[in-house]
Structures are given as C-alpha cells and as structure tokens.
Amino acid sequence: MKATKRIVCLTLALIMTALAFIMPVSAATTVPLIMIDGIGTTKLYKNFGTAEEELVFSGDEEFITGIIEDAGGALLGGLISFGIGNKDFDALADKVMPVVNKYISPIGFNSDGTPVDPTIGFYRTTEPISKYTEEEKANLSSFALAYAERNGEEYVYNFTYDWRADPIENAEQLKDFITEVKAKTNSKRVNMVAMSQGSTVALAYLNAYGGHHLKNIVFAAPAWQGTSTVGDVVTNNIELDAFTLENYLVQLANGSATTHIAAYILAFIATYDGLTKEYLGDLNAFATGLLPRTYTDAFIPYFAGMPGIWSLCPAEYYEVGKEFIFDSHGVAIDPAYEAKIDAYHQIQVNAKSIVEKAMANGANFYIVCGYNCQNAPISPRYESSDGVIETEYMSGGATCADYLKAHNDWGRIYNQKIKDGHNHVSWDYKVDASTCMFPEYTWFIKNQQHNNYKLENGTMDIVMWLLEGDNRVTVTTDTVNYPQFWLYNTYKRTTKAMVNDEVLGDLDSTGAVNTIDARVALKLASGQLQPSDLQYLVGDIDEDGEFSTEDARSVLSIAAGLPC
C-alpha cells in the first residue's frame, strides 16, 4: 500500500512539474485582433526605402497650399479659355487636367495593371500596436483602438496593404501575416475586423484559405459587394441632382445647429424650380462636357488599370463598366490584367458560398453596417447607405427603402419578403434584412456614417460584443441588448438597441398607426401627456431626443399613408 502511495505521489509530482513548464507557453486567453482598414489608410511613399523617400500625400500645410495654388491657377486659366473659346471644353481641360494628373499620377496604375511609379512602397509590421509610436497610434482605426482599450494593445495588430493592388495578392500577404501573429501570441485562431475595402482582401483570403485560422470576423461597413459610386464612374452614369446634393450636405453638418440652417437654404434652392433648372442644369451640362476628357486624360491612364478600383465595382455594373472604359475608348485590355480583375469579380459573385465554407471551418462571420444616409450625390438615386456604400451592398442584399422614406405601406401591413420564423424588418420599416445573404448574422445601425464608429458614442458596442464572444451568436441570441437594429441619435451622439416588434408612430400600441395616434402625438407635444419610454421610441420621428409638434406632424403623415 505504501509503495502504491509513493507511485501515485511521484506521478502527481511529475504531472505538476510538467504543467509548470507548459503553463507559460499555453495559448493566450485573449484572442488577438487583426485590423484591415479601407482604401487610402496605408500610407504610400515615393522612392520607398531610399534617402529620397517621401510621403505621396503628406497633407501638411505646404502640400495643401500647393494644391490650392495649382488648382486655382489652372481653373482660372481654364475658365478664361473656356469662355473665350465659346464653351470650348477641350481648352478648359487643357489647363485643368495636367494639374489633376500631377497629383493623382504617383498612385496611378497603367492600363495593363502595372504601377505608374514602381518606386512606390509602404511599411509592413508584424508588431502589436503596443510597439507603435503615439503618432502611429493616432492613425489607427477606431476598431483597433477600442479593442486595445478593452483587451490590451499587445493583442492588436494592424495589417497594412497596397489598397490599389489586387485583393487576391493582398490576401496572400494576409495569410503570412496571420501566421506570424499566431506565432507571436501563441494563439490557435485570431479575430479580424475588415473595414470598407479591407473586406475585399478578407473575402479573397477566405476564398483561398478558408476560416481555419479565424475565430470571429466582423465585416464593418464592408465593400465586399462594391459600391455604386465606383459602378457609376465606370459606366459613365453620372448626373448631378439637387435633392441628393441637399441631403448629402445637410448630412455633413450632422446633428449641429448648422444642419437646420443648411437644410433650409438648400431645400429652398433645391425646390425652387427656376434656380434648379437654370443653375443645376448648367452645372450638369458643364460636368457632362468635361467628362470625356476626364476619362481619357485621367481615369483611363491612372485608374482603369488599378485592380483595387475594380474590386469595388458591384457585379451588375462590372461587364458594362469594362466595355465602357476599355472598348468604347479603344483601349485594348491586357489579357493577364483582365484575368486578374475577373478572378476577384468571381469571388465577389460567389461570396455567400465562400463565407459558408469558412463558417463550416469554425469561423464566426458577422456584418455590421449603417443605413439611412445619403450616398455620394453623383446620381439622382436615393439608396439608403452609410454615406459611402449602399446598405444593400454592405449587408449582402437587404431590401432597403429609399433614403428618407419607408417601405410602401406603414405599420404591420408590410410583409417580410422571406419568412424564416424571425422578424427581420426594422422598427422604422426602412430595412428588410430577410433578403440578406446572412440575415441571422447581419446587424444595422440607423444614421451610422461610414467612418464614425466610436467607442464613446456606443456605435462600437455591437462590434465589441461580436469580437469578444466565445460562441457563435445570431441576431436572436440577445434581442434585448444586441438586437438586429440599432439607432444612432445624431443629436445626442448616443446609440441604443431598438426592438423590432414596435411600429414607428404607433403611440397607443395597437399595431397600426391611425388618427388616434396623431391626437396622442399632439397631446404629447403640447405637454398635456408625458411620453413613456416606449412612446419616445416610436414617436420621436426626427430622433432629436424631444417630442415636438414636428414629430406630431410626422405621425399624422404616417397615419395618412404619406412619407414623413
């Protein structure tokens, strides 16, 4: 018996000794995050690695002053030539385009897919951001900083890449980066946030390497399905519109007193028939007249051969865009280059199956995007967006009402397009998420603009929850704290989760909006009644945090079946 006890004790001692050696090198409890930012975030340098190295776009006072002086002089001379030549657009372009090309040529690609300036380069690092200087940290995305604040800077890594280049080539570099981060942190998997164009690199990575090395991956405001801004440019579908311009400029003044002043002035200009027809018509004619030289002198020589640009072209624009940019301008597309951009186009088209395979490999995939913002005002369309990318494309197919409108019928009359047992229609009836590629894994924040995700205003809450989870979650996992739809209040700079089952304007909770709700709204606005939390939720239509007569008019409009 004593011998047996000695053997047991000796065995336990050996096990404990072994554990003492194993413990220090065991896997990290915090999962490291790799951040992949969007277009233009990685700084590019001319004469990279030499004594003459210089930042392409420095942004300093001297650089900005140079642009202003060059652009001002060229525009003045061009307009003089334009007027003397009786609206000679070629004379105008002769003055303006050389200045444009002076500043865009350094980053340009030739039409065969090679860089105009082969000396351009950028800095790579596999060090955590804890090794960064304060200046370097200042250039990091809010996602990286938020994760670092909660989990430590030693767990955050920033992947730099040439955003002009082929996403598939960048994905190869990402593979090596992930391998190095895993080795440095002794982690089996990494978390990832792919922001904007960064999602094209992440999608190309998932296509080539699957999800074996990823735990939680969040596509934030992703461009994985492109944006119509690029689609419109490559298909020559550009037209200035008074109301989209008004919406966009007011949006820029987001939530300040300037908003109301700008809205009034711009609304007057946009709706005054004489001004709209006379001046906007002239501006459109001016832009249309200058466009041919813009394409031949600038876009085709410097951007048509840029794979990164074509990765942002939505599928429905792609073939028409190639035909317009190359065939209609008599530019022969290099076969090798065409094969390169076609390869990513196929990845974009097959995104759903690519992500499904990655999830089968154990990766948790999520999308977070904004809606209810006016997109770039270069066309008369009013798709809901985050100001840069349409919500439809970010979400992988959500059915969205136009900006400032709701779906055709208010209240519970609207029918969700795909019945899957869950309610995927937003409380304000602007988004039907049932048509998304991944309706159970896609979240939406109303009024969320493309680059305005911040920890302090609450717009990061959902992303942090998704990144820090151990198990796969869905939009129905926690419908109280993390439902599918959120509201960012642009006046109060706060974000709150919204319950889908309520109806905008339904102040008496009957399930529909009618004249009774309009009367209740007037009493609330006049102070005869005090609004409950639920009435604030469904009755503060303009989302300014107050119940006003403007909200009451909006409720009446909803009851009458009119847009509010």
Q: In the chain, what are the domain boundaries? A: 515-559
Q: Report pLDDT for 490.
A: 76
Q: Report pLDDT for 23.
A: 37
Q: Where does the pLDDT of residue 5 fall: very low under 50, low under 70, confident under 90, or very high at 90 and above?
A: very low
Positive or negative: CA dihedral 353, 358, 359, 365: negative
Lowest mean pLDDT among 58-62, 101-105, 135-139, 148-152: 58-62
Residue 109, strand partner residues = 115
Q: Count the Cβ atoms, other than its own, within 10 Å of residue 340.
A: 19
**Spatial CB neighbours of 113, under 8 Å, sequence gap ≥ 6:** 305, 306, 307, 334, 336, 337, 340, 341
Q: Report pLDDT for 424.
A: 94
By DSSP bridging, strand 33-36 and strand 190-195 are parallel
Q: Report pLDDT for 286.
A: 74
Positive or negative: CA dihedral 489, 494, 495, 501: negative
Q: Count the Cβ atoms, other than its own, within 10 Å of residue 532.
A: 13
Token pair recorded at residue 319: 């073939």
Q: Report pLDDT for 344.
A: 97
Residue 46 has pLDDT above 50, yes or no: yes
Q: Report pLDDT for 496.
A: 80
How much of the chain is in helix, strand and coil states, percent to nearest 5?
50, 10, 40
Please state the rounded mean pLDDT for residues 45-73: 82
Give CA–CA dist 227/416, Å, rounded.
Answer: 25
Average per-residue pLDDT in the chain?
A: 85
Buried b (16+ CB within 10 A) or exposed e, 31-40: bbbbbbbbbe
Q: Report pLDDT for 82.
A: 67
Token pair recorded at residue 148: 């670092």
- In degrees and rounded to multiples of 5, residue 239 shows phi and psi of -155, 130
Give pTM, 2 decimals. 0.86
Rounded (10°) CA dihedral 106, 107, 111, 113 = 120
Strand blocks (E) in 188-237: 190-195, 214-220
Q: Report pLDDT for 327.
A: 94
Q: Count the Cβ atoms, other than its own, within 10 Å of residue 477.
A: 14
Question: What string of H, E and C letters represents the secondary structure of 68-117?
Answer: HHHHHHHHHHHHHHHHHCCCCHHHHHHHHHHHHHHHHHHHCECCCCCECC
